[in-house]
Structure 1
Amino acid sequence: MRTRIKFCGLTRPGDVRLAVELGVDAIGLVFAAGSPRCLTPDQGASLRSAVPPLVDAVALFMDNPGSEVEAVVRRLKPDLLQFHGSESEAFCRSFGVPFIKTVAMGGGASDAATARKRYPSASAFLLDGHAPGQPGGRGERFDWTQVPSLGRPLFLAGGLAPANVAEAVRIVRPYAVDVSSGIEGAPGLKDGGRMQSFVDEVRRADRSAPE
């Protein structure tokens, strides 16, 4: 199976265009207050316009008020929503857009064990390395051998970079890998060489998958 790739936390149209040229499957746009990659709706709309058909635009939130999520949904028409906070199942599905729910793995796998029951409408789960209640995108890795089966496609995040993503793919065999800080020169500023290397390493791991 081909591992999908999501580049998250993009802030510049040129980075979006390069990501698309490299063949990534999804672009993550952050609207979580306090993140160094947080966008205004106007900035998000500008980046959204650079995402072509057949590449998913994902809008990321963390305990944002419903009015803010609704405004982004109306303005950007994202393909997917991604929730990183304590949002309820009812809140996540209330916007009429498929959603990914993030599971914080920094405190162990206990939260992951109940995620499927708590979020039955989730299209996928994203496993990140941060502790519960903390924002993601900080490059924190967790124990990849402790990935649970949640009955949904799994996005693997947390501490991924060109140097280790092939290993992560071989261990976990996730549906998708999600990277932000691991391809940056500074928060929100992607590095073209690291972006290219990340994609190359994922493809190398896919080629080495057992038949």
Structure 2
Amino acid sequence: MRIKICGIKRVEDVFMAAYCGADAIGLLMGQKYPSDDFINIDLAQKIVKECPPYISPVLVTHLDDPEKISYLASQIGFTAIQLHSDCTVESIRSLRETHPHIKIIKNFHVDGLEMIHAMKPFESVVDAFILDTLDLANNKVGGTGLTHDWNISRDIVRKVSRPVILAGGLTPENVADAIKIVKPFGVDANTGLKDSSGFKDNTKMFNFVYRAKQEFFQVRNLSTKPRDKEVLWIRS
């Protein structure tokens, strides 16, 4: 189970995400739609520079111009790019030519099984899909705090050939149920992990990661308890 904490806006939240066991952090740059989580290039560079080992910094962007996306990726040092835009297959191919070693994740908003037809052409050019919720009332394409029909997401996971990351209104309270139903490759949360200041809440991050990983073991029928030999080895 891969876990990403999105909407990071300060260095201390990166370290806490790492301590809690997250695999990746998301930095929002290149804004076209309403959001309080976008940061400037100077802060992004500082956060990525301080990013602990084994934590992947992900560029989360509304941009669809491969040159502008490439510029941000090069200037800051991202290991993955998450596209929340109407970019084309051709533009992603162009981005891959510039950054062959960067993983590319394409966002789709869950509104019905027919969306699988729109996803299929991208299977050959992306490394993963992320399923999110669209907030038409507030013109938000991510970080909405809204869930969607997880039964649709479950069917999408079964019918596409790329790994699927689940997002959209995930919290420490509902992430286990979401994983149980959808069985995604990973989960991604932002709004549900904030405190009243708009930054990340340490307890919420810990509980989110813990419950996500616990449910993953349950879904996969894996034990979280060490075997007898492992216990003896730890004690010796």
SS at match of 1:42: helix
Larger radius of gyration: 2
Report the alpha carbon displacement of residue 188 of structure 1 after superposing the two structures with TM. Answer: 4.5
How do 1:113-132 and structure 2 match up within 5 A?
Answer: 113-130=117-134
Paired letter, 1:111: M
Report the alpha carbon displacement of residue 65 of structure 1 after superposing the two structures with TM. Answer: 4.0
Task: Tell me if the contact between 2:123 and 2:162 (Cα under 8 Å) persists in the aligned partners.
Answer: no
Q: For 2:13, which of 9, 12, 15 is the aligned residue? A: 15
Task: Tell me if the contact between 1:9 and 1:30 (Cα under 8 Å) persists in the aligned partners.
Answer: yes
Report the alpha carbon displacement of residue 91 of structure 1 after superposing the two structures with TM. Answer: 1.6
Distance 1:207 1:67, change over 3 A: closer
Aligned length: 208
Distance 1:32 1:140, change over 3 A: farther
Paired letter, 1:180: N
Aligned-partner Cα distance in 2 for 1:160–1:136: 12
Task: Tell me if the contact between 2:123 and 2:160 (Cα under 8 Å) persists in the aligned partners.
Answer: no
Task: Tell me if the contact between 1:127 and 1:155 (Cα under 8 Å) persists in the aligned partners.
Answer: yes
Report the alpha carbon displacement of residue 186 of structure 1 after superposing the two structures with TM. Answer: 4.3
SS at match of 1:185: coil
SS at match of 1:48: helix
Paired letter, 1:124: A
The structure richer in helix per residue is 2
Paired letter, 1:164: N
The more displaced of 42-51 and 4-13 is 42-51
Task: Tell me if the contact between 1:17 and 1:51 (Cα under 8 Å) persists in the aligned partners.
Answer: yes
1:141 corresponds to 2:127: no
Report the alpha carbon displacement of residue 113 of structure 1 after superposing the two structures with TM. Answer: 3.2
Distance 1:169 1:21, change over 3 A: same
Paired letter, 1:110: E
How do 1:173-192 and structure 2 match up within 5 A?
Answer: 173-186=183-196, 188-192=198-202
Aligned-partner Cα distance in 2 for 1:22–1:152: 27
Distance 1:68 1:43, change over 3 A: farther
Aligned-partner Cα distance in 2 for 1:184–1:67: 32
1:31 corresponds to 2:5: no
Which residue pairs with 1:102 in the alignment? 107
Distance 1:186 1:83, change over 3 A: farther
Identity %: 29
SS at match of 1:14: helix
Report the alpha carbon displacement of residue 67 of structure 1 after superposing the two structures with TM. Answer: 4.2
SS at match of 1:177: strand
Paired letter, 1:141: T
Paired letter, 1:15: D
The more displaced of 30-39 and 136-145 is 30-39
SS at match of 1:51: coil
Task: Tell me if the contact between 1:57 and 1:80 (Cα under 8 Å) persists in the aligned partners.
Answer: yes
Aligned-partner Cα distance in 1 for 2:169–2:70: 30
TM-superposition CA deviations, 1:96-123 (whole Å, max 9, x none): 2320000111x32322333122452110
SS at match of 2:219: coil
1:42 corresponds to 2:52: no
TM-superposition CA deviations, 1:20-55 (whole Å, max 9, x none): 111111111101414211111111101111222322
Which residue pairs with 2:227 in the alignment? none
The more displaced of 132-141 and 168-177 is 132-141
